[in-house]
Structure formats: C-alpha cells, structure tokens
Structure 1
Amino acid sequence: MALILHIETATSTCSVALAESGVFMDKIERTEANIHAASLTVFIDELLKRNQKSFKELKAVAVSMGPGSYTGLRIGVSTAKGLCFALDIPLIAINTLTAMANGFIKKCYSVNGNTIFCPMIDARRMEVYTAFYNKDVEFLKVTEAVIVDENSFKAILDTYIVYFFGDGAPKCDEVLGKHINARIMDDFSNSAEDLIEPAYEKFKEGAFEDIAYFEPYYLKDYVAGKKKA
C-alpha cells in the first residue's frame, strides 16, 4: 500500500491530505491569508497523528507545483522537499490548475462533450492564471497568465459552455458572466484532496521530480510590493 501525503498551498487555502494507494483517507485545511508558514507543518503533524500514521510510513509526498501565490508555493514546495530529503522518498509535482480541474469535475453530476472547464487563480488586478480542460481533465489550452476583459475567450465561449472556477473567477463575473455560455462559480476552494488521483497515477508511473533541482512553477517572475508606511 502506498501512503502519500499531499500538500496544497498555491492560494490562500492551506491544505494537506492523506491517501493510501489513491484512496482518500483524511484532510486538514483552512482558507485564510498568510497562514501557510505557521500552519502547514502543524497540519501535517496533526493529520498523521489522528490517522495513527508515522512519517516513516510515507511512500511519497505530492505537492501543488503552481502557478499561484509566490509565497504559498515556496512554503509548500520547500516543506515537501524537506520531507522527501529527510525520509528518502520521492517527490511528486502536480500542476495546480490540473488539480483544480480534477476536483471540480469530480463534483459535477454529469458532463457533456460541449462543456469546457477553466480553473482560475487570482493574480493582480484583472489578471488570472488559467488553462482550459475537457471532461477527462486533458489540456485544451495550456497554462498562461491572462488579463481578462469582455473579449477574452470569445471564440471558446461562442462554441462551448465554459465553467470558470477558483479564486480568480468571481472577479471576472462582470466581464465574462454576460455571455450566455459562461458559468461563473464562486464556491470552489483549492484542496489537497484534488491532488490524490493525478499524484497516484504519477506514483505508479514513477514520474518523480529531482528533489535537488525542482522549483515551483511560478509562471511569472515575483514582483515585490512596496511596504506601506
């Protein structure tokens, strides 16, 4: 049996989940800004203890690799790499948007072939990190940073019903929500549970990262803001 720890810190949600051979066991998560540094290792320790598991029983650690918050990703990936080094176990990296699409689609009762899924992670102002997926969680449009306006994704929206979800979707409602095929969802939160299926597939394939050189997928260079007086 493969016990895998999953870590999601790409947004304001700090989430950890345990699964055994791809089967969900338990999770701990909280959505609040700037809690990752103080909460992540506490959540991991508590999750293992309440499921009567030890660190030595872990066979791999899976981490949400980005895109997303620079600070959140750095904390999540650093923690995952530290555990993998200490325990001599492999590191699995999952695209954050792919994990989001996987989680959202699993919650849908039925999906037809004319439906496209667009996870969105909030960036600055009207910018989002996004990608498009079909019902089988396959890329239709690769990950990119997009400044959203009323003409964004028009060709896709004219052809398909598109579900927009994630913490970047609500701010796009005014410009995208007017289209008859747009579905703006405001009730989705990132979760480490959504990494479980893709992570276990990578585990079985032996698709692991080089722990020494792996870095988060920031998509854009980090830009530090000015400190307030």
Structure 2
Amino acid sequence: MSLLLQIETATTSCSVALAKDGVVLGFKQINQRNIHAEVITLFVEELLVSAGLKYDELDAIAVSSGPGSYTGLRIGISTAKGLCFALDKPLIAIETLEAMVYGIINADQSAISADTLLCPMIDARRMEVFTAVFSAGGTKIKPTAAEIIDANSFADLLEINKILFFGDGAEKCREVLGAHRNASFLPDFVNSAVHLTQKALEKFRNKEFEDVAYFEPYYLKDFIAGKKAV
C-alpha cells in the first residue's frame, strides 16, 4: 500500500495531488505565473485535511524534477525536500517531460495511434523549448534537450511519423511546424501533479528514491537573470 504526495511546479501551473496505490484521491492546482510560493503549502494542507489524513501517514513525496521554470522548480523541490526531511520520508523524482507524456497516454489512449510520436514542449524563451520525443507507449526515443525550433526541426521524424506536440511551449511552434502533414497540436494542455501518478507508483514499488540532501532540480540550462526594468 502506498500513499504518495505529488508536486508539480515546473511551469506556470502549481499543482499538488494525493494518490493511494495509483488512484488519485484529490488534487488542487492553479495555472498562474508567480503564485507557486504563495499557494503550494496551502494546497498540501487542504488536500490532507479533505482526505482526513495526517502528514505522517504519507509514504513518500514525488516531485516533478524538470526541466522547466528555474523559480518554479526551486519552489516545488524545496517544498518536497523539506517535507521529506521533516517527516523522514523518501523522495521520488519524475522528469517533467516524461510526466507530461503519461498525462497524455492516461487521459485518452484511444486518441493516440500506435505510430504516433509524442513531443512534450516546455516554453524556454523566444523560439527555444525544452523537449524530447516519446513513442505512443511512453518510451523516450529522442533525448531531452533545449532546442531552438525552426522549419527543419524534427524533419526526419515527421517524414515517417505523425507527431503530437503539446505543452506550454508547443503553441509558439505551430507557425513553423504546423504546416507539415504529420504534425498536430494539442491545445490547452496544462501540467498537473496528477500526471506523476503512474511513474511515482512504479518508482515507489522499485524503491527508486533520491538522496534528499543532495538532490537538485534538472535545470538543463544555466539560469540567466533578466534585467529589472527601471
């Protein structure tokens, strides 16, 4: 039996879910920029109270580990690590792009043909995205990378495969990739802690835990601070 608290803060979405043996008991989320620090601990408390559970009944904390927003990742992972230290519970890390893929797979498998590739995209800046390519079954076939998207991006894969692009970085790529006959885009996809459920349960059962003291977010790129407007 497992009771897992799941945290997703890699994008503008701040989301927390509670899952028991792979079944989501409840979740809370808001898709709004720069609100993560304000609501995340409140969401955790409200979920546990509504489920009639106490913190020490949790078996592990799972967190979306990146890539994604530097600030969002710091907030989510700091919260997860703090809970793990305080409760003496294990930490489970799920790569954000992988969680996004399982969110699509588990939402509606009938809409994905066996030859369709899944391409989650997280907005970086300008025409750059954090992305990878997965099979319809969730196997990664193109590694995670920060890529600047142009008309030739994914050209080799698009020639022989249908690709579904989704995530908050996908819409800005529609203009340069959308004309290809094999490219399709899923609008309004929002990252959610619910998407961590399947992989978090697998890792818990296999005891694939992180070293809480040394674990860091998967930034993929160095953080570059913007100049404050005068």
Q: Which residue of 2 aligns with 1:220?
A: 221
Q: Distance in 1 between matches of 2:112 and 2:184?
A: 14
In the TM superposition, 1:198-209 aligns within 5 A as 198-209=199-210
Q: Distance in 2 between matches of 1:3 and 1:105?
A: 23
Q: Which residue of 1 aligns with 2:104?
A: 104
AA at the equivalent of 1:94: I
AA at the equivalent of 1:116: L
Q: Which residue of 1 aligns with 2:25?
A: 25
Unaligned runs of 5+ in 1: none
Q: Deviations over 1:133-187 (max 9, x none)?
A: 1121111111000000011000001110000000000000100000000001122
SS for the counterpart of 1:214 is coil
Q: Which residue of 1 aligns with 2:125?
A: 124
Is this contact kept in 1: 2:100–2:195, CA < 8 A? yes
Q: Distance in 1 between matches of 2:188 and 2:112?
A: 18
In the TM superposition, 1:3-42 aligns within 5 A as 3-42=3-42
Q: Distance in 1 between matches of 2:113 and 2:21?
A: 29
Shift of 1:110: 3.9
Q: Distance in 2 between matches of 1:179 and 1:166?
A: 19
Number of equivalences: 229
* TM-score for both structures, normalised by structure 2: 0.98
Shift of 1:24: 1.2
AA at the equivalent of 2:90: P
Q: Distance in 2 between matches of 1:125 and 1:41?
A: 32
* TM-score for both structures, normalised by structure 1: 0.99
Is this contact kept in 1: 2:115–2:136, CA < 8 A? no
SS for the counterpart of 2:160 is coil
Q: Distance in 2 between matches of 1:106 and 1:177?
A: 25
Q: Which residue of 2 aligns with 1:151?
A: 152
Let me know the Cα RMSD of the aligned residues. 0.7
In the TM superposition, 1:135-146 aligns within 5 A as 135-146=136-147
SS for the counterpart of 2:7 is strand
Q: Which residue of 1 aligns with 2:91?
A: 91
AA at the equivalent of 1:113: A
Residue 36 of structure 2 is aligned to residue 52 of structure 1: no
Q: Deviations over 1:56-86 (max 9, x none)?
A: 1000000000000000000000000000000
Q: Deviations over 1:37-69 (max 9, x none)?
A: 111001111111111111010000000000000
